[in-house]
Structure 1
Amino acid sequence: MQLHFQQAFRAFILLGFSTMLLKLHQSGDISKFINPKYEGLSQIASIIFLILFFIQVTRVWSTQKKSLHDCHHEDHSCHHDHGHAPLNTTKVIAYLVIIFPLVTGFLLPPKVLDASIADKKGAMLILSNQKQISLKQKNTLGHETAPQKDEKNINSQEEISLDDGPEDPINLENEKVISEEEYNDLVKQLELKNKIEMNDSVYAAFYDEIGMDVGKYKGKKIKLKGFVYKEKEIAQNQLIISRFLITHCIADASIIGFLSEFPEAPSLDNDTWIEAEGVLDVTSYNGTELPLIKITGWKKINEPETPYLYPISIKIM
């Protein structure tokens, strides 16, 4: 019996990836790397790695000793790599690249994105650009702007505010995909509310809609939570209550949040998680209108178990 070390090392790599994915799922840390709607695919990937490991194990030992394999070329050269050839620089680099995520995955605890990442991205610039991009996308899709309401309708809507009824017309806590009709109902709910609750399940949708037409929501009460981020460009009594939005995985994470204003802002450090209530107002940054929350009450909170936000996927019928 002959042991082939490279084949054994490849088997070890496959087992390592399978074990790492299963470990992340078991601990719940997988949500810090990918959108939960892809957890099923991640679990399938871990099973595939495990199957490939068992296949690879059959190549670790051989009963016959052969130089490489039976290559009978006229020039007596054979360059096929079946895991028995000596290591060279190219192979070493390839193996290092492959095992790097394994080493970091097992040895380093997952770190939640924070204000330092927001600082590198330039949060205020991103927030102002997001609105311009969202408006462009909405116009491209041909979505109609909600018709203006007369004073009688406004008073009527205030009387039937959903604050007095069920909190949510549809349950989004466990929903990864909703229909366009359900999404439209969600937007109508936002327009009718006198007090907007930015729950994690609807945060991205509400944030996008508020950004589309800031003036429509001016004067409404709002409640939200997020981590503190400050930039030099904003006033001393202002900060951004921020969250990271993950569309697919952590690599595409983008910061979203609301510029907020209150006297105690200077006393709060970056990355402090707070829950705040306030009133929506309008401000401008680089010529772009942005929502501004005038905080009326706030408190410090612990970092949530799930700190990231995920967009609602709309099913195209």
Structure 2
Amino acid sequence: MYRVVILLLFTNLFFMLHSTGNIAKYINLKYSFLSYSMIYVLLFLTIAEGIRWYFSDKRKEQENECLDCEHGHVHVNEHHHHHDEKTLSKGKKIKKFLAYTLVLIPAVSGVVLPVATLNSKLVDAKGFSFPALEDSSDKYGMHQVLNPDMSQFMGKDAFLDLVSKESKSYVGKNEFTLRDEDYLVGLEVLYNYMGKFAGKTLTMKGFTYNGPNLKSNQIFLLRFGIIHCVADSGAFGMMLEFPKDIHIPNDQWYEVTGKVDMVYYPPMKAKIPVIKVTSYKTIAKPNDPYVYRNSLN
């Protein structure tokens, strides 16, 4: 019976994630067919386990009826034997209850608890470091910010070839916009070919983040990007530089337009691109605040 309940709850969990659209906050949507298929797999297993449990319960009832019909002598050692069996059975039931309870926690909490959206607090928690520019030898265990470095997933040489091909869609333009569907691709090109974008007009949107060692007219504009799943997510974006001092708190959503330039950022010990803002406006938080890497080929 416990197995039927567990399978039913997990079926409901996957169904709710897809019906509400919250699945996009855990995985890249290009993999959603895998989790979607789990609804049918789990439903099939639930039905199969329900049938097995029903016939197993019927069989036990028949066996108990047969035992009640039998008569025999009762011995003292049999009494002790039955007592030991009851003690062992009770212990097994407690262990089984605890095991099933632990399994039930994610199935229930995944539906009951609200889904939290990643924001600037996670950037603070993981640290605002830039392993791609710092030439760190341990890139795989570090949280990415600003520049989406896909070389971690496909090798450095293959990644550089990819960016070279992608750059052809951007380098020749004097004005371009980082849209949701090509946000990560555009940033990859921009960070790897910064010099070719100097003086060009860029429009982008994201949430604000007051990073370390910024001037009074500077702030970062970021989007959380998901490569495969939320475990490999990073806060990607650019520095903004306004004509005058600003005071904007974290996690405010803006759309900005400005000229691309380069600036040396001491905490990262490297030059990074910056948007010298010419116009900006506040916007509502998007229904899907994340951006995704749709392709690596």
TM range (shorter): 0.7 to 0.9
Q: 2:58 aligns with which of 57, 63, 72?
A: 63
Mapped to 1, the partners of 2:272 and 2:185 lie a distance apart of 16
Q: Is 1:216–2:196 an aligned residue pair? A: yes
Partner of 1:13: 6
Aligned partner of 1:141: which letter? A
Mapped to 2, the partners of 1:201 and 1:142 lie a distance apart of 19
Partner of 2:180: 200
Using a 3 Å threshold, how does the CA distance of structure 1 residues 278 and 214 change in structure 2: closer, same or farther? Answer: same
Q: Is 1:113–2:113 an aligned residue pair? A: no
Deviation, 1:121, is 2.0
Q: Check whether the contact 2:26–2:229 (CA below 8 A) recurs between aligned residues.
A: yes
Using a 3 Å threshold, how does the CA distance of structure 1 residues 186 and 252 change in structure 2: closer, same or farther? Answer: closer
Mapped to 2, the partners of 1:139 and 1:255 lie a distance apart of 21
Aligned partner of 2:187: which letter? Y
Using a 3 Å threshold, how does the CA distance of structure 1 residues 142 and 251 change in structure 2: closer, same or farther? Answer: closer
Q: Check whether the contact 1:204–1:312 (CA below 8 A) recurs between aligned residues.
A: no
Greater helix proportion = 2
Gaps of 5+ in 2: 65-80, 82-88, 135-143
Q: Check whether the contact 1:229–1:240 (CA below 8 A) recurs between aligned residues.
A: yes
Supply the RMSD in Å over aligned alpha carbons: 3.0
Aligned partner of 1:16: which letter? L
Which region of structure 1 is more displaced relative to structure 2, 184-193 or 228-237?
A: 184-193
Deviation, 1:289, is 1.7
Q: 1:122 aligns with which of 104, 123, 127?
A: 127
TM-score by structure 1 length? 0.72
Deviation, 1:307, is 0.9
Using a 3 Å threshold, how does the CA distance of structure 1 residues 186 and 141 change in structure 2: closer, same or farther? Answer: closer
Using a 3 Å threshold, how does the CA distance of structure 1 residues 295 and 96 change in structure 2: closer, same or farther? Answer: farther
Deviations 1:148-189 (A, max 9, x none): xxxxxxxxxxxxxxxxxxxxxxxxxxxxxxxx7xx8665212
Mapped to 2, the partners of 1:264 and 1:205 lie a distance apart of 31
Mapped to 1, the partners of 2:110 and 2:151 lie a distance apart of 39
Gaps of 5+ in 1: 1-7, 68-75, 77-82, 145-179
Mapped to 1, the partners of 2:294 and 2:196 lie a distance apart of 22
Paired residue total: 257
Deviation, 1:95, is 2.6
Deviation, 1:26, is 1.4
3-state secondary structure, aligned to 2:30: helix
Deviation, 1:193, is 0.8
Q: Aligned ranges for residues 45-56 of structure 1 at < 5 Å? A: 45-56=38-49
Mapped to 1, the partners of 2:204 and 2:159 lie a distance apart of 30
Using a 3 Å threshold, how does the CA distance of structure 1 residues 30 and 95 change in structure 2: closer, same or farther? Answer: same
Q: Check whether the contact 1:240–1:258 (CA below 8 A) recurs between aligned residues.
A: yes
Partner of 2:292: 310
Q: Is 1:294–2:287 an aligned residue pair? A: no
3-state secondary structure, aligned to 1:102: helix
Using a 3 Å threshold, how does the CA distance of structure 1 residues 35 and 11 change in structure 2: closer, same or farther? Answer: same
For the pair shown, the structure with the greater C-alpha radius of gyration is 2
